[in-house]
Amino acid sequence: MTKKFNRNKKNLVSGFTLIELLVVIAVVGIMSAVILSQLNSARSKGSDANKKSNLRNIGTQAAIWYDSATLGNESFNGVCSYGPVQNMWQAAGATCNNGASGYRVRAQLVQQNQYGPSSGLDWLCVDATGIPKILDTDPGGSAVTCP
């Protein structure tokens, strides 16, 4: 901060130099960039947590459907089109396969390489066992079990 003598008013006028203002602007810019990158990371982690929650709940809803809809038929045909299950896998941006022996729901996660070292893409897969599995590659295909 500098002080200059004003000849008209015979007092000192204080103000910031251009360099001081530029330094403050640069520091604020750097801080905002760091905060925004952390915000984006938190947003993608939140998205993945939502997908994981939806896929875990699918196991419960599928068990409810299986107990009430099969009535001794013991087939998973139709579980993917059952209302609550369908709403959850669609909300998670997932795909659902079902057959007589089981079902499988898979969704791509936003965060990459958090569970595997190499592929860059992580997938969450839930099948009739009800146990969510994190995969390093897309399980693909129309199988009704997670690899």
Q: Give the model confidence (pLDDT) of 87-101 as tens digits.
A: 888 888 888 888 888
**Model pTM score:** 0.65
Could you tell me where the DSSP H helices lie in the chain? 18-69, 83-91
Determine the residue type at 8.
N
The continuous run of DSSP H or E covering 96 comes out as strand 95-99
Give the separation between CA 126 and CA 60, rounded to whole angstroms. Answer: 11
Alpha carbons within 13 A on the beta-carbon side of 13: 8
pLDDT of residue 68: 75
- Average pLDDT along the chain: 80
Q: Give the model confidence (pLDDT) of 55-65 as tens digits.
A: 888 888 888 87
Higher per-residue pLDDT: 1 or 146: 146
Give the separation between CA 87 and CA 55, rounded to whole angstroms. Answer: 11
User: Which residue's entry shows tokens 């295909």?
Assistant: 141
**How many CB atoms within 10 Å of residue 87?**
13
